Homo-oligomer: A and B are copies of this chain.
Amino acid sequence: MTDDISQKLSRMILEGELSAGEQLPTEQSLAESFGVARTVIREAISRLKHDGLVDSRQGVGAFIAEPSARSAFRISPACFEKRQKLLEILQLRTGITSEAAGLAAVHRTDADLQFMDTAYDSMERSLSGGDAAAEKHVLAERSFYQRIAEASGNQYILEFLSMLDTRIDMELRSVAMKNARVTEWSAEVLAEHKAVLEAIRAQDETAASQAVRYHYSLAAQRLADRADLADT
């Protein structure tokens, strides 16, 4: 129940229904209007405070914080259904992943490379087959780029990409998305991944970064060309 309320409140704030500096209703009135006890409201507001969405002062009240005061980054589930939002998430991922690949090219060890080879082989092997192979391919692809993130030696990049992939996996299990992923399941796309792998093997920072960028630009193109996603 507290999940619902914190989600509703944060949506109100993020959508701009409540503007910065404005005062929230008191905990008691919120409890009454939501039909729950004050403890539940408190837990919800506590979450908002932790994310830097609101700021409360004892004896006064809780106020909407400045947008510049956010202390956490999260992607709301609703964003995965709109094509435009999906493309923007893809762009965000492009920036981080290309940076990760460049760093991986520099810092990779032979062990890192071996892990990447294994993941790549798994992608290659699951190139033909039924749904099971497609599922396997998705997992292998995720593993491939996670290995790259690990090889970058940057903890934050690893955490961020891991979080992003998890969110995408969680939310994009709809049928439309399963289909969208099939378009990423071809020999042509595999060649794009191969270019990344070889650039990292050759320890060519620029080439690795560029190869990732190239892959994602084509992936964005493929996503934009699809007709089965809502545009609103």
Contacts and interface: CB of A to CB of B under 8 A. Distances in A.
A152 B94 CA distance: 14
Interface of A: 2-3, 6, 39, 42-43, 46-47, 50-51, 67-75, 85, 88-89, 91-92, 94-100, 103, 152, 154-157, 159-160, 162-163, 166-167
Nearest to A96: B95
**A interface: dominant SS:** helix
Contacts of A96: 92, 95-96
Nearest to A170: B71
A71 to B, nearest CB: 6
B42 A88 contact: no
Contacts of A85: 155
Nearest to A210: B206
A136 B73 CA distance: 27
A99 B103 contact: no
A217 to B, nearest CB: 10
A72 B157 contact: no
14 contacts: A3-B50, A42-B43, A43-B43, A68-B162, A70-B166, A72-B74, A73-B73, A73-B74, A73-B159, A85-B155, A91-B99, A94-B99, A95-B98, A95-B157
